[in-house]
Each structure stands twice: as structure tokens, then as C-alpha cells.
Structure 1
Amino acid sequence: MLTHLSLKQFAVVSAAELTFGPGLTVISGETGAGKSLLVDALGLLSGLRADSGVVRHGAQRAELVADFSLDDAPLALAWLRENELDQTDEDSDEGVRPPEAACQIRRVIRADGGSRTWINGRPVTLAQLTQLTAYLVEIHGQHEHQALLSKPSQLALLDAYGRTDAQRSVVVGAAQAWNALLRERDTLSAAGDVTDRIAWLEHQHGELERETLDPESIAKLQSDHRRQGHASDLIAACESAFAQLGGDDGPSLSRSLQQVRGELQRVSAHEPRLLEVDGMLDNAAIQLDEALAQLDRVRSDLDLDPSAFETLERRLGRIHELARKHRVAPEQLAGQRDAIAAELETLRGAGERLLKLDTEIDAAREAWRAAAATLGAARRKAAESLSASTTALIAELGMGGGRFDIAIEPQDGDRPDPNGSERVEFLVAANPGQPARALRKVASGGELSRISLAIEVAALGLDAVPTMVFDEVDSGIGGGVAEIVGQKLRALGAKRQVLCVTHLPQVAAQGHGHYRVSKAANEGVTQSAVASLDAKQREEELARMLGGVELTREARAAAKRLLSDVV
């Protein structure tokens, strides 16, 4: 849902700040005041190309900012997370945690025609902006960028209306399974004759199999090699240490320690604290004995054996040679051996697998056809219902005799498509006796806007986009039809956030919120201003829309009556 819109130096608007809530928000104002500029701003924030003409005269750049709450836009939030553009703690001021589901879009358009765009403070391309805002805003009006003019959006709306999620999921899964099998067959076919490859891999695998390559064994081999290589130094060090600590010939630390203990024990009767020292030396003697025992064991394990060293040298050399050959670390050779074994297994069964794949691909295609047929039947049923409902609403909206149809056309080709086996096209006949034409070719902007409104109301706002914008939806109508248009917009506002630019009081009276756009000349320069209206100001604005420049008592009474009649 759109929560805030900021405009600076945009066209005839110097600065404007608008806050939006749920339901229907109407925007009114005198002709030429710039009501549709708000729609144009949202269009630019949705990815439309911009030119320097949107920059206010005399300014260097125009700046547009829109804030959205994403509580009702899970697809937009998922897109932001996938593209790493979602809000994080780093995006907020120090000590202020950002909202869990919010998004800010900012676009700056320079007077030289260039522009830059940011999503949550990070620069993005127009393509990325368009992708995101397709999940946030639909604009229905007199411009080509309406979402409902695209066939993919029409198909998505029909699927939402028909609640075909389950059937479509089966079709998507069947198409993905077919594609995966096709890729596997292409990979195996591209390999061609694999006899030489198999022979080469078998030779490599045999070399690796002859060695013990698990990381623990390699680590032990390296340790044994180092120990054997330094055996003479180790033996000398152990014998020297043993002689100094407890040797029988000459002085040693063990005998010195025993002498010290004996001397202290003879005089300890005169100083009891020496008994504590003796206890400490006793513990030291125990540790010394354990150290001597360990030294003896280490020395016993050491042996100068040139042949053993050569054997270790050869084994380690083969390991390093294999590692260089396969361009991996020695510890990764076991993984390389297993990967070669897996490839061998695949290649040995390639011919047999290819024969099976043809059968599996045909079966997967048939599974997709069956799933697509089920989805197609659900779509045709939904199309019939949506066409009837929309046609009835078109008549209510002042286009009596008009007709809305949904053409479902088979898709060319036999390649499984995750979207199903058909394409849809929304068709409209605006007047009796006219042939139905594609919705995107309807000439009248007002008719197009009303038809879009009828479709959305008939579909009960079931498409996933949370914010819908209608520009001049009431063009060319009046009286009772205008009141019906307002009621339909308000009903749609119960399902989605709706923004509507209007010049009819019957429509404006239905809004949950109301903005008025006005213009004035300041030092010869025309400027537009946007103001939020309270209850009294709304009554005055409706009276102006009813009676013109002069606000009569009758106009005010009629305005009050319009507001009181809103359900």
C-alpha cells in the first residue's frame, strides 16, 4: 500500500507531501490545476521514461519519492529480498530499527533529461524499478502504461479470478520436469561417443584407487615422513634430555631433586612450612618420573631406518604428483576420485539412459498436456463468468450495449509452457453493434478507464497488486452513472487501496480521503498546491464541483446531502 508521496520541482508543483491510507482516496481540483500530475508522478516512479519537460521551469532537477508498506504485497517483498534490496538495520538511522516490510522508491530527473533511481537507498536500473512496481501499483487511465493492457497481466487476473493456483502449480511442475529431462538428454547427446573418455577416466580412477587418499591417512603419512626425516635429531634430543633429567652417569635433575628433599626433611622439624615445600617437590618428582617414562617410550619408537624413509618418500611423492596432475590439494584427491567414479557410472550408462529419456520426455509432455487441459478448462469457466459480470458492470457505468469478452486462444507449438497451453486477450465492444476489439486498442481514455474499473470490480480486486490508480475514470459521464462509478470505486476500496482523479462530486463524495489540487500565479509563474481536506473542507470542495465558482446555499446543501448518502 502506498503510504506517502513526495514531489519536489515537478512540473508546476514546487513541493507537495501526500499521505495515503487504505480505502478510496479521491483527488479533485479545477481544470488545468494539475490533478493528473500525481498519476504522472506514480507512472514515473513505476518506470516510465522521463524527459526534461517534467522538471519545473527554472529548477535543476525534479525529485519524486514514494513510500510503501509491504504488509499487503508479499510478492514485492519477496522480489526485494531476492535482489538484496530489502530494508536492513544498516538502512536506518543509528538506534532506529527499520520497519520489517517497507519500501522507499526515489527518482531524480535532471533538467538535461537524465535520471537516477533508488530503491531503499540503493541505485537501481529502470528495468529493476519496473519489475518491482509491477507488484505494487496498477495505473488505469488514458495512458499506455496501464497494467491491464498487457496480456500477462490479463492472464494473471483471470487466474486470480478463477482461483486456479492449484491447477497452475501442476502445470508449472510438469513443464519444469519436461525441461529438466530435455536438458539431460541434450547434455548426453552432446557428449557423442564416450568410449575414449571412459578409457581415460578409468586410467585416472585406477591411479587414484591405488593410493590411500582419505584426508586422515594423508595427514598421518605427512607426519610419519617428517618424523622419519628428522629421526637422528629426535633420537639425539631424547637421549640428551634423558641423561640430564635422570641418567645414571653424572649429575641429573632427578638425583639433585632427591638430595634437596633430604636436606629439607632433616631441618623441617624446626620450620613446619618446609613440609609444604617438600610436598611441592614430591609432586615435581612425580611429574619428572612421568616425563622420563614418556621420553623412554618416544625413544623406543624412533629408529634410523633409511629404507622406511625412502618408502614414505615415494608414497608422499606419488600423492603430490597426483595432486599436481588433477590440480587439487592432496586433501581433495579423495573427492576427485569419487567425482571421476560418478562420471564413469554416468557415462557407462549413457546409451541406456538416452533410450529411457526419450520415453520419459514423451511421458512428461503428456503429463503437461493433461495438466494444461485441466487448467484451460478452469480458465474458460472463469472467463465466461468474468465476461458476464464485467459486461453487466459496463452497462451500469454508462456504456449501455457495450460488451466485454475474454478470448482464449491456443498457443502455437508443442513445447510445454509453465503458463499453460493458451493465451488470453481481453476484448471490448464499447457500443452496440460494434465488433469486439482488444482492450489495448480502445480509443477513448474515459471508456478505457471505466472498463478497467468494471473489470477490477468484477474481479473483486483479486489480482495481487495492492494499489490501483484511476485517472479520469468518470470522463464523459454524469448524473446517476457518476454516482454508480463512485460506489464501485468505494466497493473496490474495501479490497484494495484505490486512488482516483475525478472532476465529479458524485465520485468525490465516495472517498475515504480527499485531496484538492489548486493552482495560482506567483510572480508570473503558475504553481500547483495539494491540500488534504477535512470534513468541512470536503463539503466546500463538493459544493464548488457542483456549483462552480460561486458557492450558493443550494450547492452547499447538495454537497452535504451527497456526503450524508455515502454508505
Structure 2
Amino acid sequence: MLRRLTIRDFVLVDRLELEFQGGFGTLTGETGAGKSILVDALAFALGERADASLIRAGAERAEIAAEFELDDSLAAAEWLREHDLDTQDGLLLRRLLDANGRSRAYLNGSPVTVVQLREVAEALVDIHGQHAHQSLLRGDAQRALLDSHARLAPLPAEVADAWRQWRDARNRLDAAADDIEALATEREQLGWQLGEVSALGFSSEEWRALNDEHQRLAHAASLVEGAHFSLQVLAEGDAACEAQVASVANRLDDLSEYDSALEEIAVLLHSAQAELGEAISALRRYTNRVELDPQRLTEVESRIEAVLDCARKFRCTPDDLPALLARWQERLAVLDDAADLAGLAERVEAAKQRYGELARRLTAGRAGAAAALGREVSQVMQQLALGGGSFDVALLPVEGGSAGGHEQIEFRIAGLAGNESRSLAKVASGGELSRISLAIQVVTSQAASVPTLIFDEVDVGIGGGVAEVVGRLLRELGAERQVLCVTHLPQVAARANWQWQVSKVSEAGQLRSRVATLDAEARVEEIARMLGGIEITPITRQHAKEMLQLP
């Protein structure tokens, strides 16, 4: 679960370190104090998109760090092990945002991508925003929620991949059937070009070797002359260097008996004499090997000209010819494949069969989960002043299927606007939709494996006895998970195991958000403020105490 959140220079927060507890906690405070900023900071640390506008005015960068225990998140621990990241001391997520809008992310001190940050975050925290009910009106969001609740992963992704493969196979078959003549013409052209280049039998290594050999053969006379001249100077002439160096070295050997300072010089000359001897031997071997070969020079020049002619014909450099040949071979293989209409049709059928099998499995999983989700959400709705209403998850067949499977998912409500079951988007009013969304979130969260749940003002539009039910539901959820709720309702806040208060202060002409942990007495004052507004009376305080004493 989440243990610590450290925020630096994020929106209105300059420096803030929060220590989290287990169970159900609430975050309260006056409107505009910055309650949701803390949720936004955590979401940023978990990989949400952000821009430089989130950096506190006057600061160079924002930094958020979130520390988690991993005992209650086996999925996160497994992810870390798969990516060779240490798990002994829990998990520390750290993310920085600079003034240019660029961000950097770290897991236990190791740099990671934002995508990786999101992957591990999915196993740690589930954030339900105050506008979650709006996303529930979208078909894709409804499908994703049902699949997640049914724990069908990775089947939905496999179905989508199978659909794409089936679609691509159909497209290749259709394109091949429509362009059979054009493909045949291209195949013929490629066959001729491949024959030309293949007949040359050329490689980049040969081209470098040819140029080196041509240089040597074209300058063979100069090379032979230079080698013989060098031998004359070094070893074979009347004043050859080798003999003179040996003479000087021997003379200094004799003289060193009278002055030891000459001994080091003699040693250097003997070393030079040895290296000179090696150079002379190498020169003699070279002169025995190098010879004038006009016939070979003609052959090399002819080969070079043939390569250059081929390269000019296909408008490339000699070094590009092998790569060009490889591309043509790959393209010809594609064309050969496209020309096999029967083979393409078999692939289409195989892809269709695979998609159909996976989609049927997905449908079966969704059907069972849809029935259970409908019953459970309907039960919670009765507690949220939606008596008589029932929730249903409809699986609407999609002709031919889609990347989402054989059906479209539609959340439906009956009993609120007539008995007929109708789409959620067409039935529920704003207040009803908020309560239905909360019922769905509570039910799906109970089935999820994520250890930390954040509810950011999901109780907007709710009050009275319904608010008390919401508080009780969240407290029950907190018995199994770590739950944090940003709320403006005293009925919800009073049910919490612990409570924070967010306030906004002015320091040095700038607004700052501050968070205080409330003890029992302070909680009475805060609940009383939420109940009574500006003027808090003894009766209001007494009411607050009674609310806090509810089981």
C-alpha cells in the first residue's frame, strides 16, 4: 500500500511530505484549498501526462516521490523482478518535471520510461476521479471496465491482435486479387533486375579488395623501384646505413670502458641496429613478392568497370548494390506470396478461425461477469436512494465482429424512467448517474486486486442519508484495502478511520497548500465546519461528535 508521498513545487505545494495509514482515510477542506492537487500529484507520479503549467510559480522543476509497501501487491513485486529491479525495501516511484515540459521517471533509483511507470502503477493504485461517471457513458470504457472486473486479461488484447491479423490477411488477399496483372508485371521486372545483379556475383568486401589491388598494380613500377632504392640506402650500397650504424655502435662499446656515460648510447644504437635489420628483411621479402603484372591489372580494371556499369544502370553506388539486391529479393518474395491467391485465402481462413475461437472465449467470460456485475451493482443502488432501479450489462452482437470481440458492451438501467431497460446515457440524470457510477466503482473495486483505492470527490451531487450510506460503503471497503477519499460531505468524512485537512495560506505574497493530520478533537471541529459552515455552534459540535461515534 501507499506509505509516503513527497511533493516538491507542484501547483500550490512548495514542500509537503505525507505519511499514509491503512484503512479508510478522508481528505477534507474548503473549496479551492487544493484537495484534488494531492491526487493530481500522485497521478503524475504514477505516469499521468503533465505539462510545465503544473510547476509552482517561481520554481525550476516539480518533483513527486511515492513510496509503497509491496506485501499486498504481488503483481507489482513480480513486475519489478521481471525487470531486474530490487524489491527488498518496497518500491519508490520518483518523477521530475522541468520547465520545458520534459519529465524523467525512476523506480528504486533506476531510470524507467513513463510507459513502464504506468505498467507498475496499474498494480498499485486505482484512482476514481470526480468525472468518472462521464467516461462510463462511453462504450469503450464500459467494455474495458467489464473485462477488468472479470479479470479476462490478456484475452481482450489477444482478440484485438487476432482481429488485426485477420483484417490484414483479408486486405492482402483483396489487394492481390485486384492487382494481379500489375503484380505480375512487377515480378517480371524484378526478376530481370535480380538476374543482372546476381550474375555480377558482387559483394562490398570484393569492391574494397578490388580497389586496393588496383592501387597496388597500377603503381607496381613505382613500388618496386622504391623498395630497391630503400635497400640500396639501408643495406646494399657502399655507404649503407646498416654497416655504418654497426660501426658506430661497436666504437662506442669500446669507448664506454673509459666513460660509462657512453654505454647507454651504445645500447640504443644496438637496438636501432636490430630494428633496422628487421626492416631490411621485410623490404627484401616485399621486393620478392611485388612484380609488374599488366595482365592482372587489365583484369582488375575490367571487373571494376563492370561493377560501375551495373551501379550506374540502377542509379546507385557500388557499395549499395548488395543492399539493393537484398531489398529486391525481399520484395520478390512478397510478390510471390501475393501471387498465390489460394495460399492467401487459406491464411485468411486460418486467421478468421483463430479470431473466432478467441472471441467466443471472450464472450463466454463476459457473459458470466456481466450477470454477476448486474446483480451486485443493483444491490448497491438500492442503498443509494435508487430503489426500484436495476443495473444490467448487455452484450449486443456485432455483425462480423470487431477488435473488441463479437459484441458491444452497453450498461443499461431499468426502473428509473419506466420499466424498460435502456442505455445508461439515455436514462440517468446527473445526480442519478453520479450515484450509479459510485455503485459501479465500489463493486468493481471490491473485486480488483489493487491494494490502494483513491476516490476524488466521486460523491458530488449526493447528500443526506445517501451520503451516510456512501461513507459506510467506503469504510467497509477500507477494511480490506487502503482507501483515500477526497470529500466535501461530513457524513463520508465522519466514517473514516483517519482524516486530513487541506488549507490554503498566503506566504510572501504566494498561495500555498498545507495539510494537517487531525486528532480526535480536531476532527470534531472539521466535521462541525463541514456541517455548519462559517458559524460553528455547540449544537453543531455535538452533532459532529455523534457522527464520529457511529460504528
TM-score, normalised on structure 1? 0.71
Percent sequence identity over aligned pairs = 26
SS in 2 for 1:322: helix
How much does 1:272 deviate? Answer: 6.8
| Contact residue 517 and residue 529 of structure 1 kept, 8 A | yes
Unaligned runs of 5+ in 1: 49-59, 76-98, 107-115, 123-127, 520-526
- CA contact under 8 A between 1:516 and 1:533: conserved in structure 2? no
Q: Cα offset for 1:15?
A: 11
Report the alpha carbon displacement of residue 447 of structure 1 after superposing the two structures with TM.
2.3
**CA deviation string 1:105-125 (max 9, x = no partner):** 89xxxxxxxxx9956399xxx
- Indicate yes or no: 2:18 matched with 1:34: no
> Relative to structure 1, is the Cα distance of residues 405 and 372 closer, same or farther in structure 2, using a 3 angstrom cutoff?
same
Question: Per-residue deviation at 1:379?
Answer: 0.6
Residues 366-515 of structure 1 correspond to what in structure 2 (within 5 A)?
A: 366-412=353-399, 414=400, 417-429=402-414, 431=416, 434-460=419-445, 462=448, 467-473=454-460, 475-478=462-465, 481-492=466-477, 495=481, 497-505=483-491, 507-510=493-496, 512-515=498-501
The Cα shift of 1:426 comes to 1.2
Quick one: distance in 2 between partners of 1:36 and 1:251?
100
- Check 1:229–1:506 CA distance in 2 against 1; reply closer, same or farther (3 A cut): closer
For the 8 Å contact 1:27–1:35, the answer to whether it is kept is: no
Shift in alpha-carbon separation, 1:196–1:333, aligned structure 2, 3 A: same
Is it true that 1:534 corresponds to 2:515 in the alignment? no
1:539/1:559 contact within 8 Å kept: yes
Q: 1:563 to 1:233 in 2, by over 3 A?
A: same
1:239-278 correspondence to structure 2 within 5 Å: 239-247=228-236, 249-261=237-249, 263-264=251-252
- Report which stretch shifted further, 314-323 or 215-224: 314-323
- Residues 474/68 of structure 1: CA separation in 2 closer, same or farther (3 Å cut): farther
Structure 2 match to 1:365: 352
After the TM superposition, which of the residue ranges 183-192 and 231-240 deviates more from structure 2? 183-192
The corresponding residue for 1:172 is 160
Alpha carbons 1:214, 1:334 under 8 Å: kept: yes
Aligned to 1:551, which of 534, 537, 540?
537
Confirm whether residue 563 of structure 1 aligns to residue 548 of structure 2.
yes
What do residues 253-273 of structure 1 show as CA deviations (whole Å, max 9, x unaligned)?
123234335545665665677
Which residue of 2 is the match for residue 83 of structure 1? none
Paired with 1:268 and 1:546, the residues of 2 have a C-alpha distance of: 110
Q: Is the 8 A contact 1:474 1:503 kept in 2?
A: no
Distance (whole Å) between structure 2 residues aligned to residue 37 and residue 258 of structure 1: 93
Work out the CA distance in 2 between the residues paired with 1:471 and 1:380. Answer: 28
Distance 1:261 1:477, change over 3 A: closer
Structure 1 residues 376 and 291: alpha-carbon distance in aligned structure 2, compared to 1, 3 A threshold: same
Matching of residues 65-464 of structure 1 within 5 Å:
69=66, 101-103=93-95, 118=101, 120=103, 146-186=134-174, 188-189=176-177, 190=179, 192-247=181-236, 249-261=237-249, 263-264=251-252, 280-352=268-340, 354-412=341-399, 414=400, 417-429=402-414, 431=416, 434-460=419-445, 462=448
CA distance in 2 between counterparts of 1:331 and 1:197 reads 25
Q: SS at the partner of 1:411?
A: strand
Shift of 1:183: 4.5
Match of 1:79 in 2: none
Within 1, Cα distance between the matches of 2:223 and 2:102? 66
Q: Aligned partners of 2:391, 2:356: CA distance in 1, in Å?
A: 29
Equivalent position SS for 1:34 = coil
Question: 2-side partners of 1:300 and 1:454: how far apart?
Answer: 96
- Unpaired stretches in structure 2, ≥5 consecutive residues: 50-56, 76-90, 106-113, 506-510
**Structure 2 CA distance for aligned equivalents of residues 557 and 450 of structure 1:** 29
Equivalent residue of 2:200, what SS? coil
Greater CA drift, 425-434 or 145-154: 425-434
- Structure 1 position 278, deviation (Å): 5.3
Contact 2:66-2:92 at 8 Å conserved across structures: no
TM-aligned CA deviation for residue 169 of structure 1: 4.0
Give the Cα separation in 1 of the matches to 2:435 and 2:164. Answer: 39
Q: Which deviates more, 335-344 or 187-196?
A: 187-196
Structure-1 residue corresponding to 2:111 = none
Do the aligned partners of residues 546 and 303 (structure 1) sit closer, same or farther apart at CA in structure 2, a change above 3 Å counting? Answer: closer
Native 8 Å contact 1:25 1:515 kept in 2: no
Contact 1:140 1:452 in 2 (8 A): no
Does the 8 Å CA contact 1:473/1:500 hold for their aligned counterparts? Answer: no
Letter in 2 for 1:362: E
Q: CA deviation at 1:103?
A: 4.8
Deviation digits for residues 179-223 of structure 1 (CA, Å, limit 9, x no counterpart): 342354355444644444333323322332333423332221111
User: Is residue 128–residue 455 contact of structure 2 (8 Å, CA) maintained in 1?
Assistant: yes
8 Å Cα contact 2:159-2:359 kept in structure 1: yes
| Matched position secondary structure for 2:307 | helix
- Distance of aligned partners of 1:156 and 1:103 in 2 relative to their CA distance in 1, 3 Å threshold: farther
Task: Please tell me whether the aligned partners of residues 528 and 536 of structure 2 are also in contact (alpha carbons under 8 angstroms).
Answer: no
Distance 2:184 2:93 in 1: 57
Inter-CA distance 17–443: structure 2 relative to 1 (3 Å threshold): farther
Which whole-Å CA distance do the structure 2 matches of 1:305 and 1:390 have between them?
Answer: 94
Deviation, 1:74, is: 13
Greater shift, 254-263 or 382-391, is seen at 254-263
> Separation in 1 of the partners of 2:14 and 2:426?
36
Other structure's SS at 2:392 match: strand
Go from structure 1 to structure 2 and tell me whether the alpha carbon gap of 1:40 and 1:450 turns closer, same or farther (over 3 Å shift). farther
Cα deviation for residue 294 of structure 1 reads 1.6
1:215–1:147 distance in 2 versus 1, CA, 3 Å: same
Task: Find the aligned partners of 2:101 and 2:249 in 1 and give their Cα distance.
Answer: 82
1:516 and 1:337 map into 2 onto residues whose CA distance is 69
1:376-428 deviation per Cα after TM superposition (whole angstroms, max 9, x unaligned)? 1111110110110111111122322221111111123x25x332111111122
What letter corresponds to residue 330 of structure 1 in structure 2? P
- Contact map agreement 2:129 2:455 (CA 8 A) in 1: yes
Number of equivalenced pairs: 493
Change (3 A) 1:529 1:434: farther
What's the CA shift for 1:177?
2.8
From the superposition, tell whether residues 540 and 313 of structure 1 become closer, same or farther in structure 2 (CA, over 3 Å). same
Distance in 2, matches of 1:318 and 1:438, equals: 74
1:264/1:278 contact within 8 Å kept? yes
CA distance in 1, matches of 2:147, 2:437: 17
Q: Supply the distance in 2 between the matched residues of 1:518 and 1:218 (Cα, whole angstroms).
A: 75
User: Counterparts of 1:292 and 1:305 in 2: how far apart (Å)?
Assistant: 24
